[in-house]
């Protein structure tokens, strides 16, 4: 069947509230060298999408300006220089942009097969969170079996992924969340202790629980937690920062623990990484994590799935932070 000339996509005529997004029609993208064209069946909604919609997270120059960083669907065209894929293959992947559309260009080095038994919604819930957690908690911070990790935002898509992966690789997991319901969900996923940050001081709990602190902290809060994070790390510990929900600029921070305890403070964002770096993460996921997904040892937590046309409602829900796990769009 020939491909259509036009497709629907989520347009953003101007930055602003969720209502700034509209469904529009435009031409299909064309896959270039090393790229696949995927007919989109499901899309994940992520915090970077919200930030881009608000005007604070611009896409790279060579990326689609259309929102959306992860998707799942069917390969319908293949660019030059691509091997290992065929028309009709079901893939999910980390897009550089453009996933909020009926068709999306996906770099072949950022594509992954559906895990066994997965439909498109479950497969599309994987790439952004699994790429992010693997790159920051395992590749950069070096989490290994027997270590302890504190994961902030344990009920988020990132958090639910990080808890399960840390547990699966033999780490002891602590986490923070903002309600009793969210804390219960974190414990069920494998956390030894979930700390309600609205009623407990996580630094005091970590000190009482461990006596010496944790080896790694995966943090999406930033400035608001910096002092307590440094206090909560054990000697030779690592703080890995992946977002700034609590601000990017910290005032009057006590840096002494970094020297006294030989701490490492690192961080990264996924989108500006090179194609080679993203391919390396993909290759690790394929060999180390996809077997766990195939066997059901880890799995995405999906809070709610919306129709593509209800993207505004999906973003409204994301902004409430009331969800546990992923928010998805189905086409």
pLDDT at 253: 83
Measure Cα distances from 175 to 81, 147, 151, 278, 312 in Å: 43, 14, 5, 27, 30
- As given in the structure block, the two tokens for residue 198 are 């609205």
pLDDT in the model for residue 250: 85
Q: Which residue has the higher pLDDT, 63 or 252?
A: 63
Token reading at 230: 């440094």
Mean pLDDT over 75-104 rounds to 98
pLDDT, one tens digit per residue, over 119-156 is 999 999 999 999 999 999 999 999 999 999 999 999 99
Q: Which two tokens stand for residue 225?
A: 């937690």
What is the greatest pairwise CA distance in the chain? 65
Mean pLDDT (whole number) for 15-40 = 98
Contact 205, 194 (CB under 8 A): no
- Cβ–Cβ < 8 Å for 64, 98: yes
C-alpha to C-alpha distance for 167 and 186, rounded to whole angstroms: 11
Q: What is the pLDDT, as a whole number, of residue 245? A: 87
First to last CA, the chain: 19
pLDDT, tens only, 259-315:
999 999 999 989 889 999 999 999 999 999 999 999 999 999 999 999 999 999 999
Tell me the DSSP string of 107-149.
EGGGEEEPPTT--HHHHHTSHHHHHHHIIIIIIIT---TT-EE
Residue 235 has pLDDT above 90, yes or no: yes
- The pTM assigned to this predicted structure is 0.96
Of the candidates 198, 179, 148, 1, the one whose C-alpha atom is nearest the C-alpha of residue 88 is 1
45-89 confidence digits (pLDDT tens): 999 999 999 999 999 888 999 999 999 999 999 999 999 999 999
Structure tokens at 73: 């669907």
The pLDDT mean for the chain works out to 96
Helices (H), the chain: 47-54, 120-124, 127-133, 157-168, 180-189, 202-210, 226-232, 256-260, 275-284, 290-294, 311-320
Q: DSSP class of residue 28?
A: P
At residue 122, the 3 state secondary structure works out as helix
* Per-residue burial over 232-247, b = 16 or more CB atoms within 10 Å of its CB, e = otherwise: bbbeebbbbbbbbbee
HSE (CB half, 13 Å, CA atoms) of 48? 29
Residue 119's pLDDT is what?
A: 98
**Contact in structure between 105 and 64 (CB atoms under 8 Å):** yes
How far is residue 132's CA from residue 47's CA, in Å, rounded to a whole number?
12
245 vs 47 pLDDT, higher one: 47
Domains and CATH numbers, the chain: 6-126+271-330 (3.90.180.10), 133-267 (3.40.50.720)
Place of tokens 């950022």: 110
**Angstrom distance (rounded) from CA 182 to CA 154:** 8
d(CA 146, CA 123) in angstroms, rounded, equals 29
Confidence of residue 34 (pLDDT cuts 50, 70, 90): very high
pLDDT at 133: 98
Rounded CA separation 116/279 (Å):
22
- The pLDDT score that the predictor gives to residue 247 is 84
């Amino acid at each position: 069947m020939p491909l259509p000339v036009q497709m629907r996509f989520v347009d953003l005529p101007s930055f602003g509230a969720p209502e700034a997004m509209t469904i529009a029609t435009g031409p299909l993208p064309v896959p270039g060298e090393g790229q696949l064209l995927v007919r989109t069946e499901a899309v994940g909604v992520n915090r970077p999408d919200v930030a881009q919609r608000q005007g604070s997270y611009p896409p790279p120059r060579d990326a689609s300006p259309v929102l959306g960083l992860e998707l799942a669907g069917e390969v319908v065209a293949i660019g030059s220089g691509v091997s290992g894929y065929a028309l009709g293959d079901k893939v999910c992947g980390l897009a550089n942009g453009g996933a909020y559309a009926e068709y999306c260009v996906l770099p072949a080095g950022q594509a992954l097969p559906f895990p066994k038994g997965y439909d498109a919604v479950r497969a599309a819930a994987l790439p952004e969170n699994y790429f992010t957690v693997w790159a920051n908690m395992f590749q950069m911070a070096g989490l290994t079996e027997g270590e302890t990790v504190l994961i902030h935002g344990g009920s988020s898509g990132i958090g639910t992924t990080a808890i399960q992966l840390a547990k699966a690789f033999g780490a002891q997991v602590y986490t923070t969340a903002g309600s009793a319901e969210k804390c219960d969900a974190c414990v069920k996923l494998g956390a030894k202790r979930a700390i309600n940050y609205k009623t407990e001081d996580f630094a005091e709990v970590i000190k009482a629980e461990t006596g010496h602190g944790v080896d790694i902290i995966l943090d999406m809060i930033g400035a608001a937690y910096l002092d307590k994070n440094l206090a909560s790390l054990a000697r030779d510990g690592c703080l890995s920062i992946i977002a700034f929900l609590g601000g990017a600029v910290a005032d009057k921070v006590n840096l002494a623990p970094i020297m006294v305890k030989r701490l490492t403070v690192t961080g990264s964002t996924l989108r500006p990484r090179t194609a080679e770096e993203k391919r390396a993460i993909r290759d690790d996921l394929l060999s180390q994590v996809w077997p766990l997904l195939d066997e059901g040892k880890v799995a995405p937590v999906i809070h709610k799935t919306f129709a593509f046309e209800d993207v505004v409602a999906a973003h409204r829900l994301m902004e409430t932070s009331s969800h546990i796990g992923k928010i998805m769009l189905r086409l």
